[in-house]
Structure 1
Amino acid sequence: MENKICAVIVSFNPEPTNLQKLTEQLIACGVAVCLVDNNSQNKEQIRSVFSVSSGVHPFYLEENTGIAHAQNVGIRFALDHDYAYLVFFDQDSTIDAEFIQQQTAAFEQLRSAHPRLAAIGPAFVDKKHGFHYKIVNIDRHGRRTKIDTQHMQQPFAASLIISSGSLVAADALRAIGPMDERFFIDYVDTEWCLRAHAKGYVIFVNPQVQMLHAIGDNSLKLLKWRVPVHSAFRRYYRIRNAFFLMKMPHVPTLLALREIAFNLVHQLVLILFGHNKMGYVRSLWRGLKDGLNGKY
């Protein structure tokens, strides 16, 4: 599988043993690993783990530049070394021994019928509560349809997938372009997927391959809903970037408006029921100000 697949892992203050386990799993599958660390506080510990690991190509950034820039560092490495596929992971991702082979086989089978296939993602199961995350499809007007993957067997076309676990064709990345670094963290994968569709590419989900995932650092239980809790730092980008989506011609206006409204309601819930109330008030103010002013 030489020069076929390069895994891009972005880390920020990771648990080194979890990171090491993931890289070992990937190397055992014949996958090259590009690790991009966003100036973690424990980066010297990470260096000591990967300094002699022949299958890992580490990049240690001198500041936290955001996930989009870090992914682009890995993308440039993979494209410069002529890998056919890239697969993206978070620092806490876990995969089984068949993950890479199953996703690659599904991609290559699908591509015979869909030559403009850009990426294929797995289905996701909540790490803490065990439910299956629904896949959201969006029509050209921005109207949403949710797809339950729990009992599905065959790959299906999807509007949006998250980057973690996604297998992407290098030639599609060259045509679609890299991640938009202005977003820093939130909506990076959303914008890229919508840009891919605008350029005539398709994206699929393979429900037979599953990954554990958790949204937020924690969650609030309100009536029948669970509200993800992110840091005030992260919430700033969530609010600001929803306004940025409004200015992009390949993003349906209805989708952007929904994200703006949803984020404002979400922020109000965090201000009322979260622990860091003033932090969330400040991130709301900064997110609104910078989002409306178009300040990246």
Structure 2
Amino acid sequence: MDCLASVYKSLTSFQYEIIVVDNASHDGSVEAIRGGYPDVRLIANRDNTGFAVANNQGMDIAKGRYILLLNSDTVVQTDILEVMIGFMDRHPEMGASGCKVILPDGSLDKACKRGFPTPSASFYYAFGISQMFPDRPKFNQYQLGHLSPDDEYPVDCLVGAFMLVRRETIDQVGGLDETFFMYGEDIDWCYRIKEAGWGIYYYPRTYIVHYKGASARRKPMKIIYEFHRAMWVFHRKHYAKRYGIFTNTAVWLGIALKFSLSLISNKLFRSGPQKKSASGHKAAVHETSSEVKT
């Protein structure tokens, strides 16, 4: 509800519509939206269909010339729609853009500006080498830690929590790949957008706060599984045919190893209670996807 409230406070010179897709939440969100925001176009799914399916549902009925994917666990600035739409209008070659994304503690959500997870980039990131050499471009191909978060520049991919996409771009490349359930679909979409010849840009002249459902240190098994499955799906779809058996085997083993380590680490917090995120959804297992169409 905080997300919707912040969107309605936006100062804009254009009209927009809001479409909310609720993935079978059980915290009263659907009733609250129907009662408090009757002009919102609400799709209430009976099952948790996943991020890609839910956002595609919203895009299918959208009428705007731009589509903004916006997570329910975010709060936007009053100028954000005006600033980001203005940027896209001035740069018709851009298929998608994203703003700075801040976590509740004031730190950067590093997913808001990324390179593609090539085998080498994934290796440096997954095993901490990028953290050991934060200023070296070679080792920071994925999270681009060597680039200032306060500067603007083209990037490979953005985060699905806030992604502004041009209608013509979606018409050309299609929607999110529903093979992905709740991770990786934003990277895959950006990959296809760039393959089609469109630019993608990080524009930190405004920002959102992303609560990320991450206050629970222990994560449900579903989240851990889907996070690592997304790595496998993305590599199989875009990179497996480019590399030989040695590299592909190393990637599969790396994913398996990281999955195993994540399970072990997660068990250490078994006795700790889960806390709810600011949006009231536990660790994004059931999450309401909001989309703004301008």
TM exceeding 0.5 = yes
Task: Answer yes or no: is 1:71 the counterpart of 2:80.
Answer: no
Question: Which residues in structure 2 correspond to 1:32-181 (within 5 Å)?
Answer: 32-43=17-28, 46-50=30-34, 53-78=37-62, 81=63, 83-111=64-92, 115=93, 117-127=94-104, 129-134=105-110, 135-138=113-116, 143=121, 144-145=140-141, 146-147=144-145, 152-153=150-151, 155-181=152-178
Q: TM-score normalised to the size of structure 1?
A: 0.70
CA contact (8 A) 1:198 1:250 kept: no
Between 1 and 2, higher relative CO (CA 8 Å, sep ≥ 6) is seen in 2
Name the residue aligned to 2:124: none
Secondary structure at the aligned position of 1:105 is classed as: helix
**Identity in percent:** 15
- Of Structure 1 and Structure 2, the greater strand share is in 1
Query: 1:275 — aligned with what?
Result: 270
Residue of structure 2 equivalent to 1:238: 227
Distance in 2 (alpha carbons) for counterparts of 1:250 and 1:20: 38
- Structure 1: distance between partners of 2:31 and 2:11: 18
Tell me if the contact between 2:100 and 2:149 (Cα under 8 Å) persists in the aligned partners: no
Structure 1 position 124, deviation (Å): 1.6
Q: What CA deviation, in whole Å up to 9, does each residue of 1:205-260 have, x standing for no partner? A: 1012222124552376xxxxxxxx53222112112222222211368767966666
RMSD between aligned residues: 3.0
- Distance apart, 1:141 and its partner CA: 6.9
The number of aligned residues is 242
What residue identity is the alignment partner of 1:136?
R
Q: Give ranges in structure 2 of 5+ residues lacking alignment.
A: 122-139, 273-294
Give the deviation of 1:150 after TM superposition: 5.1
SS of residue in 1 equivalent to 2:95? strand
What does 1:178-193 align with in structure 2 at a 5 Å threshold?
178-193=175-190
Distance 1:20 1:200, change over 3 A: closer
Check the 8 A contact 1:195/1:250 in 2, yes or no: no
